């Protein structure tokens, strides 16, 4: 084995500082806090601009003399379930299991498919179970929820990519799952804010941003997570 090459590699590594496990844990904790703060901050700003600072909305006038109301129990159940799905999605996106190569392609694809399906099914299922009307709100097709979701998810998306740092295998797919996880976090905020469970509205305003974020995550994952030669 080439002794000169060995000396060169060891010297190059010694010259470049790199974080140890404990350094990285602290750093990731900080990034996690930044992600939470940025998501929450974005949600508060959006609510201040769009609904006079109301983070929780229980209904509104769907049409002249027609009101939509959702009970607090429905909000708690719906948001609670969404929180569980979001936490699972973040765990799936950031934890790599027992291998440095991360989770298998099949598991990632399965998780990526399951996140939007379970969020949608939970929201619609809760609304049906609580007997809440799923009427259309013509003035609210879903573009505001779409904007809210993308606005809230931007910070967590970048933070999750920074925490993941590298994915030598399937960086695009890992990035897409990170996008879904950021979208699931934003779903919780959108679920608090939006009283509408009308399916076309939910598909446009709540599910579509998950797809958009997964696409952006895939592009960013390919660009940022794959090791690059210098």
Partner 1 sequence: MAIPDLDGADAAMERYARGDAAAFADVYDAIAPRLLVLLRKATRDASAAEDLMQQTLLHMHRARGSFIPGAPVMPWACAIARRLVADSARRRRVEQRVFSEAPADDDRMTYDPVAATAAADDLLHAHRLAGRMQQRIEALPELQRNAYRLLRQEGLSLKRAAEVLGTTVSAVKLRAHRASVALRAALREAEELV
Residue 101 near residue 169 (C-beta atoms within 8 A): yes
Residue 6 sits in the site that holds partner 1 (CB under 8 A): yes
Q: Rule CB under 8 A: which of 162-181 touch partner 1?
A: 165-166, 168-170, 173
Shorter beta-carbon distance to partner 1: residue 67 or 91: 91
Residue 72 sits in the site that holds partner 1 (CB under 8 A): no
Q: 201 is written with which tokens?
A: 């509205």
Angstrom distance (rounded) from CA 176 to CA 213? 7
Shorter beta-carbon distance to partner 1: residue 12 or 72: 12
What residues have CB less than 8 Å from 33, skipping those under 6 apart?
Answer: none
Angstrom distance (rounded) from CA 67 to CA 133? 10
Angstrom distance (rounded) from CA 87 to CA 111? 12
Residue 68 near residue 137 (C-beta atoms within 8 A): yes
Q: Rule CB under 8 A: which of 134-163 touch partner 1?
A: none
Among 1, 64, 65, 131, binds partner 1 (CB under 8 A): 1
Residue 60 forms beta bridges with which residues?
68
Q: Rule CB under 8 A: which of 96-115 touch partner 1?
A: 96, 98-101, 104-106
Angstrom distance (rounded) from CA 78 to CA 125? 9
In the complex, minimum distance from the CB of residue 1 to partner 1, in angstroms, rounded to a whole number: 6
Half-sphere exposure of 11 (CA within 13 A, CB side): 6
In the complex, minimum distance from the CB of residue 229 to partner 1, in angstroms, rounded to a whole number: 4
In the complex, minimum distance from the CB of residue 88 to partner 1, in angstroms, rounded to a whole number: 20
Among 18, 64, 72, 131, binds partner 1 (CB under 8 A): 18
Span of 94-102, 124-132, 139-147, 187-195 interacting with partner 1 by CB under 8 A: 94-102
User: How many residues bind partner 1, per CB under 8 A?
Assistant: 38
Angstrom distance (rounded) from CA 200 to CA 159? 31
Q: Rule CB under 8 A: which of 195-214 touch partner 1?
A: none
Angstrom distance (rounded) from CA 208 to CA 143? 10
156 alpha-carbon distance from chain centroid: 7
Span of 69-77, 125-133, 200-208, 220-228 interacting with partner 1 by CB under 8 A: 220-228
Among 31, 83, 114, 226, binds partner 1 (CB under 8 A): 226
Residue 178 near residue 157 (C-beta atoms within 8 A): yes
Where along the sequence are the contacts to partner 1 (CB under 8 A)? Answer: 1-2, 5-6, 8-10, 12-14, 16, 18-25, 96, 98-101, 104-106, 165-166, 168-170, 173, 226-230
């Amino acid at each position: 084995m080439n002794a000169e090459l060995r000396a060169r590699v060891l010297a190059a590594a010694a010259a470049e500082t790199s974080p140890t496990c404990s350094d990285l844990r602290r750093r990731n904790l900080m990034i996690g806090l930044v992600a939470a703060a940025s998501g929450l901050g974005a949600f508060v700003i959006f609510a201040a601009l769009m609904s006079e600072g109301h983070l929780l909305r229980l209904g509104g006038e769907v049409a002249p003399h027609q009101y939509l109301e959702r009970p607090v129990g429905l909000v708690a159940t719906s948001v609670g379930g969404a929180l569980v799905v979001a936490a699972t999605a973040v765990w799936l996106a950031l934890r790599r299991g027992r291998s440095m190569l991360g989770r298998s392609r099949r598991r990632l694809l399965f998780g990526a498919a399951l996140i939007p399906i379970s969020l949608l099914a939970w929201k619609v299922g809760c609304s049906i179970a609580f007997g809440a009307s799923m009427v259309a709100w013509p003035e609210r097709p879903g573009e505001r929820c779409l904007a809210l979701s993308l606005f809230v998810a931007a910070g967590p998306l970048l933070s999750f990519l920074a925490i993941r740092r590298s994915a030598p295998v399937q960086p695009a797919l890992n990035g897409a799952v990170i996008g879904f996880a950021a979208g699931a976090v934003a779903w919780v905020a959108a679920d608090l804010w939006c009283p509408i469970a009308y399916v076309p509205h939910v598909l446009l305003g709540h599910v579509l941003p998950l797809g958009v974020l997964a696409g952006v995550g895939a592009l960013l994952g390919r660009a940022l997570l794959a090791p690059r030669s210098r």
